[in-house]
Structure 1
Amino acid sequence: MFIKILHTESSPGWGGQENRILNESIGLQKLGAKVYILCQPESKLAEKAREAGIEVFTSPMRKSYDLKAIYNTARLINKLNIDVVNTHSGKDSYIGGFAGKLSKKTPLIVRTRHLALPITSTFSYKYLSDFVVTVSEYVRQYLIQKGIPEKKVFAVPTGIDLEKFNPGKVKGTLKKELGLNQDTPLIATVAVLRKKKGHHILIA
C-alpha cells in the first residue's frame, strides 16, 4: 500500500518554491508514493509537472476564502483518497487546509514555509495544519518565535539532484561560450533580484 500525497500551490509563476515542489514530487514518486499536484490553470508548475509525469489537477484559487475552490478541493481529496495534503502558499494553504478538514477522508495537513520573510498571519500554521515544514532552521526558529508550537515545526532543507551537476554525465559549455580556460574559476548565483538574496554581498 502506497501513500497518496496532494501538493497544492496557488502561485502561477515559477521560482525556487515551485521548483522544490516539483523535485519533491518526483523524488516521492521514486520512493513509491503516489503524488498529485493541484494548482492554478495555466501555471508553470502544471506545465512542468505534466512533463515530468506527475498527475496534475487545476482549479482557480481567487482568494484565501474561495468557497468554490474549497469545495472542489475537498471533493478531489475524497475522490483520490488522499492521505497527506501539502500546502505551500497563502491562498492554497487556506483552501487546502479547510478542504482537508471538511473532507470525509480528513488527511494529514502539512504546511510548508519556503520564504525567510515576515508572515502576515499565523492562522494556517496554528489551526489548519498538523505539521509545518520549513526550508531552513532559521525559518523554523522564526515561526516558533511567532507562536507556532515547536513540536509541530520541522526544518527540511531543499534537496538537490546531484546528477544534474555530475561532470561525468553533464558537459558544461559556459566557459567555452565566455572564452575562458577550463581551469578558470567561475562563480555564479541564480536567484530573483531581491536584496535579501544577497547579490551585493557576492559582488563585494
Structure 2
Amino acid sequence: MRILHINAGEVWSGIEQRILFIARYLKEKRVYCALAISPFSPLWKKAEKEGIKVFPLKIKSEFSLPSIFKLRKIIREEGITLLHTHRSSDHWLGFWASRGLEIMLIRTRHNLTPIPKNPFNYFLYQKATHHFIAVAEIIKRAMIEDFKIPPSKITTIHSAVDIEKFKRQKGGLREELGFPSNIPLVGTVGRIRDHKDYPLFLETARWILERNPKVRFVIVGEGPLEGYIRKLTRDFQLDNKVIFLGKREDVEKIVSDFDVFLLTSKIEGSPAVIKEAMLCGIPVVASKVGGIPEIIENGKEGVLISRRNPEDFGRAVLELLDQKEKVKKMVEKARKKVRENYSPEILGKETLEVYERLHQR
C-alpha cells in the first residue's frame, strides 16, 4: 500500500494540518505516504522537516495538462496505489492523472460549500471516486442527499488537534498588547474569509462594548478580506478595541490568554480552532452550523448560537465572562471530550483503517 496526498492549497489551514497529522502517523507506522503539493505551501517545509517525502506540484487548474502529466509520472514512478485528494481542483486532477491506472481515488470533504450539480460532478462523485471521508456527519448526510452516494462509501472522521501543544499556559498576551491584567479578552482564530463572517464578529464586539466598555477583542489570522475587515473596524470606531495580530506561530499561547473564544462562521466543517480553545480550557461561543454541534453539546461543553445576530452572540459572551463557576465546569467537560475523541492518533488510525479496507478490495 503506497499513498499519495495531493493538495492545491498554498495556505496553512485545517486541511494542511490534517494532511500533516495523517502523514506523520503513517510514517510512524512505516506505511509509505508522500505529498504532491505546491512548493509555496507552508505544508512543504513542515513535511520536509519531519522527513515526509514531498513532490513539487503546482496546480493551476483541474485541467492543467502539465500538472496532470507530472502527477501521472509521480504515480507511476512511486508505485502509488491510493490517491487521496482534498479540494475540488486536486480531486479532478487526481481523476485525470489516474485514468487507466490501477489506483484507488479518495476524497476528503472538509466543509459544506455547495458542489455544483452538473453531469460532470455527478460522474466524479458517483462513479469515479472509490471512497469519501467527511469531516462531520452533516457533510456525509449532504453528500448522500445531493449526490446519492451510498453511505457505505463515506466514512466520517473529524479533524484532530495537537493534544500536547494546546495546554493552557500563560502566554503574556495582555503584556504584549499593553493591557492591564484584569481586562477581559474575547478572541478568534482563522483565515479572514467570507464564510467566517467577521462582520458579525465586529457587530458582536460593538454590542458587547456598549454594555461592558472594558472588553477587548483579538483576531488572529490573515486572508483575502483582511483589508475590508480592518476598514469595517474603523467604520465601527473599534480601532483600539479590536486588535489584529495577523499570522502567528504561537497560537496556543495566545488562545490560552482569551477569556472567551468567539466563532461567528456561516459555514464550517469540523473546525480545529474550537477544539484547540477547548483544550486550552477556554469557553467557546460559536455558530450552530456545520459540524460544530457534533463537537459541542450546547450548554455542556460550550454555547451554540442559532440566530445570526450580534445580540445573541453578545449575551452569551457576557454571561460566560460573568459566570466563573459555570465556565469552570464547562471547560473541564470540553477538555475531556477533545482529549478522548480528537487526537492525531485517532485521526491517523481511523484514516489508515479506511486505506486498508480499500487496499483489500
* Separation (CA, whole Å) in 2 of partners of 1:185 and 1:24: 37
Q: Secondary structure at the match of 1:164?
A: coil
Which structure has the greater CA radius of gyration?
Answer: 2
Gaps in structure 2 of 5+ consecutive residues: 202-263, 265-284, 286-312, 315-361
Q: Secondary structure at the match of 2:67?
A: helix
Q: Which amino acid aligns with 2:26?
A: L
Q: Is the 8 A contact 1:112 1:134 kept in 2?
A: yes
* Separation (CA, whole Å) in 1 of partners of 2:127 and 2:140: 17
Matching residue of 2:157 = 156
Query: Closer, same or farther in 2 for the Cα pair 1:128/1:40, shift >3 Å?
Result: farther
Matching residue of 1:65 = 63
How far apart are residue 63 of structure 1 and its match?
Answer: 1.6
How far apart are residue 124 of structure 1 and its match?
Answer: 3.0
What is the aligned-residue RMSD (CA, Å)? Answer: 2.4
* Separation (CA, whole Å) in 2 of partners of 1:174 and 1:44: 26
Q: Which amino acid aligns with 1:116?
A: L
Q: Does 1:192 align with 2:191?
A: yes
Q: Percent identity?
A: 28
* Separation (CA, whole Å) in 2 of partners of 1:143 and 1:192: 25
Q: Deviations over 1:148-203 (max 9, x none)?
A: 23221111101222111246xxx44246635537xx99764322234644664545
How far apart are residue 128 of structure 1 and its match?
Answer: 2.8
Q: Does 1:16 align with 2:21?
A: no
* Separation (CA, whole Å) in 2 of partners of 1:122 and 1:13: 29
* Separation (CA, whole Å) in 1 of partners of 2:51 and 2:70: 23
Q: Which amino acid aligns with 1:63?
A: S
* Separation (CA, whole Å) in 2 of partners of 1:5 and 1:82: 6
Q: Which amino acid aligns with 1:149?
A: P
TM-score (norm 2): 0.49
Q: Is the 8 A contact 1:132 1:152 kept in 2?
A: yes
Aligned mate of 2:107, from 93, 111, 128: 111
Q: Deviations over 1:94-131 (max 9, x none)?
A: 1112222333xx22211111122111234432233100
Q: Which amino acid aligns with 1:154?
A: T
* Separation (CA, whole Å) in 2 of partners of 1:150 and 1:197: 29
* Separation (CA, whole Å) in 2 of partners of 1:153 and 1:55: 28
Gaps in structure 1 of 5+ consecutive residues: none
Query: Closer, same or farther in 2 for the Cα pair 1:151/1:185, shift >3 Å?
Result: farther
TM-score (norm 1): 0.82
Matching residue of 1:145 = 145
Query: Closer, same or farther in 2 for the Cα pair 1:153/1:47, shift >3 Å?
Result: same
Q: Is the 8 A contact 1:111 1:125 kept in 2?
A: no
How far apart are residue 29 of structure 1 and its match?
Answer: 1.6
Q: Is the 8 A contact 1:122 1:146 kept in 2?
A: no
* Separation (CA, whole Å) in 1 of partners of 2:195 and 2:122: 22
Matching residue of 2:36 = 38
How far apart are residue 67 of structure 1 and its match?
Answer: 2.3
The aligned runs of 1:68-79 (5 Å cut-off) are 68-79=66-77
How far apart are residue 93 of structure 1 and its match?
Answer: 0.8
Matching residue of 1:91 = 89
Matching residue of 1:56 = 54
* Separation (CA, whole Å) in 2 of partners of 1:95 and 1:191: 28
Higher helix share: 2
Matching residue of 2:125 = 125
* Separation (CA, whole Å) in 1 of partners of 2:67 and 2:128: 16
